[in-house]
Amino acid sequence: MQVHEFAQPFAAGRGDVGVLFLHGFTASPWTLRAWAGATAEAGYRVSVPRLPGHGTSWRELEVTDGRDWYAAAERAFVELRGECSTVFVAGLSMGGALALQLAERHADEVAGLVLVNPALVGHPRLTLVPLAQHVIRTVDSVGSSIRKAGVTEHSYPRTPLRAVHAMMRLWADVRARLDLVYCPILLLHSDADDVVPIISKEIVLRQVSSEEITEVALPDSAHVAPLDNDADLIVERTLDFLTEHAVR
């Protein structure tokens, strides 16, 4: 299936410190390209893979699940790890869940996490999804939650419930092993996130074993914050975090 031009994977930079960026559900590398690009310009090697089922058609997303998404994230991590002495992982929404899963399974190799509105639970209405998926194939788009006028993340116009259920299973898998996360974490969260409930952030704070967690509020952004009004703040705090924790 053809991958849209905006959804192509992105890689840049030549530094010995790498940062893997993981996009969210129904989105694509486009969502993180500016954030990753600014990080590369600051002297880091960056990689933004396209997760399976994304950047093509919701029909392809419908037949992928958390195992596919994690496998792609892990492949990109291993490749970046082979090129760099130190690797951080940054993730938005479901990409944040995948970043945490990488830290659970590669605890000795993930130098730190940068999480923007990480998703580990959904709104209560999602409890209907396991049954509803057998009756309703798709619902309206869940993407492009952005305050900034004229900006889109090019998300799918429809959201397949089968894939939503797969994401919910991924969340459960990640939540069950959060105590295995020990690395430093930069946790950025939007005050006006209308997609991921605040309890998701609280689960991270409560269950990881990391001794260092830095919280940063994003006062003027909705869920897709890297494309919203606080994009510069995300870049600034990310670079501060990398500078503090990277071993060059």
8 A C-beta contact, residue 48 and residue 21: yes
Using CA atoms, how far apart are residues 83 and 53, in angstroms rounded to an integer?
A: 27
Which is catalytic among the residues 23, 54, 189, 223? Answer: 223
Q: What's the CA gap between 26 and 93, in Å, rounded? A: 11
State the catalytic residue, choosing from 193, 200, 221, 230: 193
Residues pairing with 159 in the sheet = 139
For residue 29, give the nearest of 47, 2, 13 by alpha carbon.
47
**Of 28, 47, 93, 190, catalytic:** 93
Examine the residue annotation and report whether 93 is marked as an active-site residue of this protein: yes
Residue 223 falls in the annotated catalytic set: yes
Asked if 194 is an active-site residue, the reply is no
The residues annotated as belonging to the active site are 93, 193, 223
